[in-house]
Every structure is written in structure tokens, then in C-alpha cells.
């Protein structure tokens, strides 16, 4: 009896192959043909799942976002109950940085996606939606911390959100070896300490 193909599983396998190509060779090598070779499928089989490079990148980016959310959820389960908002923000921020292999793959995939989105109006809109969702999550955490008296009430939640997200700008410095992971984590921790100490 022929084996039934789990289409979602196959799409995820292709997404992983795309991540590996981007991780090892950069986004310029992330063509349908190259990803098909990496995934061990024919170009025709890959096109059965993804009609275009843009569709493949979009799925891989959505899958990467799900993986990041899963890592954050697992991290939240290890925190005290109820978790301190500073610890929640630290977890969210550090999972956006390339500090371990899975996060590095997600980070590089995100960079490739953003570069592609700069020249593709459809991808640009989708990428913007994803980034706005991420920002909204951080802003919600900041507003909750202010409401709980953990952050001083005179702090502007919009500005504080943007300053927190600016910490994810350590990504290229980490990737290019300009700073070490310990330095990035120390900066994140010091910023959070200052933010929460003012309450």
C-alpha cells in the first residue's frame, strides 16, 4: 500500500531545507532548485507545495515564527508563577537574538525574508504584519507592567517598547562576531534593570 504523504510535514521539511540553505550559503542561494536539492525532492515536487520562491519564503517565515513562539512558551513554563514581567520581556527579547542554533536559523531566515520583502510589495505587506504583531506583543507586556506598578507610570509605553525592540539590533553584531553573546545579554539585563528599577 503506498505511503500517505503528510503535506504539512513535507512543507515543514522543505522549510527546514530552506533554513539550511540560508544558514550555510546566504539568501541569494535560496532558489527553488537549490532548496529542492537540499530537501531531497525534485523541483516539480517542491513546486507542488510552493508555486514560487515568495510563497516558500512566506511559509518558512511563518513556520519560524511558530517555532519562536513555541520556544517562548516553553521558557514561560519554567518561570515562577505568576512570572515577573521583566523575566517575560527578557525571554521574548533573547529568543529574537541568534544565541542558539534554532534561534540563529530563525534569525537568518527573518533577515532573508526582510531583504526579499524590500523588493516585493506582497511580501512587504506580510512582513510588516508579522513585525507589527511582534511589536504589539512587547507593547502589551510593557503596558501590563506599568499597570501593575512594575514600571514607573510616567514612562511612555510606545517609546519603551521601541527601545526594547532596538535591543534586537544586536543580531548583526552577534552574527559577525563584533560582540559576544555574554555582552548582548548583559546589555539586555542592564536595560531591563533600569526600566524596572524606576518603578
53-109 per-position pLDDT tens digit: 888 888 888 888 888 899 999 999 999 889 999 999 999 999 999 999 888 888 888
Give the cell for residue 104.
Answer: 540563529
CATH number (domain holding residue 172): 1.10.357.10
Question: Would 36 be classed as within a structural domain?
Answer: no
CA 142, 162, 173, 187 dihedral sign is: negative
Look over the chain and give the mean of its residue pLDDT values, rounded to a whole number.
90
Residue numbers of the chain with a pLDDT score lower than 50: 1-2
pLDDT reported for residue 41: 93
pLDDT reported for residue 198: 65
Question: Would 3 be classed as within a structural domain?
Answer: no
User: Where would I find the H helices in the chain?
Assistant: 7-25, 32-39, 43-49, 53-76, 85-94, 101-117, 121-147, 157-166, 170-175, 181-197
Question: Would 153 be classed as within a structural domain?
Answer: yes
Question: Would 41 be classed as within a structural domain?
Answer: no
Question: Would 17 be classed as within a structural domain?
Answer: no
Domain that holds residue 150: 52-197
Give the cell for residue 123.
Answer: 511580501
Q: How many domains, in total, are found in the chain?
A: 1
Question: Would 38 be classed as within a structural domain?
Answer: no
Question: Would 83 be classed as within a structural domain?
Answer: yes
| C-alpha span between 16 and 13 (Å, rounded) | 5
pLDDT reported for residue 96: 92
Amino acid at each position: 500500500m503506498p505511503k500517505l504523504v503528510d503535506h504539512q510535514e513535507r512543507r515543514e521539511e522543505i522549510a527546514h531545507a530552506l533554513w539550511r540553505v540560508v544558514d550555510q550559503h546566504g539568501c541569494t542561494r535560496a532558489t527553488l532548485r537549490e532548496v529542492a536539492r537540499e530537501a531531497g525532492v525534485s523541483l516539480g515536487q517542491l513546486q507542488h507545495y510552493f508555486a514560487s520562491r515568495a510563497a516558500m519564503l512566506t511559509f518558512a517565515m511563518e513556520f519560524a515564527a511558530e517555532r519562536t513562539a513555541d520556544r517562548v512558551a516553553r521558557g514561560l513554563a519554567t518561570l515562577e508563577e505568576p512570572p515577573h514581567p521583566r523575566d517575560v520581556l527578557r525571554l521574548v527579547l533573547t529568543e529574537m537574538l541568534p544565541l542558539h542554533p534554532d534561534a540563529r536559523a530563525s534569525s537568518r531566515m527573518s533577515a532573508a525574508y526582510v531583504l526579499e520583502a524590500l523588493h516585493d510589495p506582497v511580501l512587504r505587506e506580510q512582513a510588516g504584519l508579522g513585525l507589527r504583531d511582534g511589536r504589539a506583543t512587547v507593547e502589551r507586556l510593557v503596558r501590563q507592567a506599568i499597570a501593575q506598578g512594575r514600571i514607573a507610570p510616567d514612562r511612555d509605553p510606545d517609546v519603551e517598547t521601541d527601545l526594547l525592540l532596538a535591543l534586537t539590533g544586536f543580531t548583526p553584531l552577534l552574527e559577525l562576531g563584533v560582540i559576544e553573546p555574554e555582552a548582548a545579554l548583559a546589555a539586555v539585563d542592564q536595560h531591563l534593570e533600569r526600566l524596572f528599577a524606576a518603578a
